Structure 1
Amino acid sequence: MKLTDILSPEELSDEDETLFHFLPEEDEIAEIDFGTREIEAADIPQLLMPDGVTPVIEAFDDFAEAEQRDLVACKMADFDEDRILVVKGMIVLDGQHHLVAAHRLGREVTVLDLDAPLRWPWCAPGP
Structure 2
Amino acid sequence: MKLGDLYSNAELTDESEALFHCLCAEVEGFDFTSKLLAWEDIALLEPWGGGVKLITSMDALATPEQIELINEKAHSFDARRCVVLEGVRVVDGHHHLVAAYKIQEDVSYIDLEEAYPEAEAGPDF
What interval of TM-score do these two structures reach, taking the shorter chain for normalisation? 0.7 to 0.9
Give the equivalent residue in structure 2 for 1:54: 52
For residues 19 and 41 of structure 2, what CA distance do their matches in structure 1 show? 22
Question: Which AA in structure 1 matches 2:12?
Answer: L
Q: Contact between 2:27 and 2:115, CA under 8 Å: does it hold in 1?
A: no
For residues 36 and 105 of structure 1, what CA distance do their matches in structure 2 show? 21
Give the equivalent residue in structure 2 for 1:101: 99
For residues 47 and 73 of structure 1, what CA distance do their matches in structure 2 show? 19
Which of structures 1 and 2 has the bigger CA Rg?
A: 1
* CA positional deviation for 1:21: 1.2
Select which of 67, 71, 85 maps to 1:87: 85
SS of the residue corresponding to residue 86 of structure 1 reads strand
For residues 20 and 55 of structure 1, what CA distance do their matches in structure 2 show? 22
- Provide structure 1 residue ranges, at least 5 long, that are not aligned to the other structure: 120-127
Q: How does 1:40-79 map to 2 (within 5 A)?
A: 40-79=38-77
Q: Contact between 2:39 and 2:107, CA under 8 Å: does it hold in 1?
A: yes
Q: Contact between 2:27 and 2:112, CA under 8 Å: does it hold in 1?
A: no
How many pairs align?
A: 117
User: Comparing both structures, which one devotes a greater share of its residues to strand?
Assistant: 1
Any idea what the Cα deviations from partners look like across 1:5-44, whole Å, max 9, x if unmatched? 00111111100001111222x4x63321011111111111
Give the equivalent residue in structure 2 for 1:122: none
Scaled by the length of structure 2, the TM-score of the pair is 0.87
- Which is worse superposed, 57-66 or 29-38? 29-38
Question: Which AA in structure 2 matches 1:88?
Answer: E
Q: Contact between 1:35 and 1:118, CA under 8 Å: does it hold in 2?
A: no
For residues 98 and 65 of structure 2, what CA distance do their matches in structure 1 show? 14
Sequence identity, in percent? Answer: 38
Q: Contact between 1:39 and 1:110, CA under 8 Å: does it hold in 2?
A: yes
For residues 7 and 51 of structure 1, what CA distance do their matches in structure 2 show? 21
- Provide structure 2 residue ranges, at least 5 long, that are not aligned to the other structure: 118-125
Scaled by the length of structure 1, the TM-score of the pair is 0.86
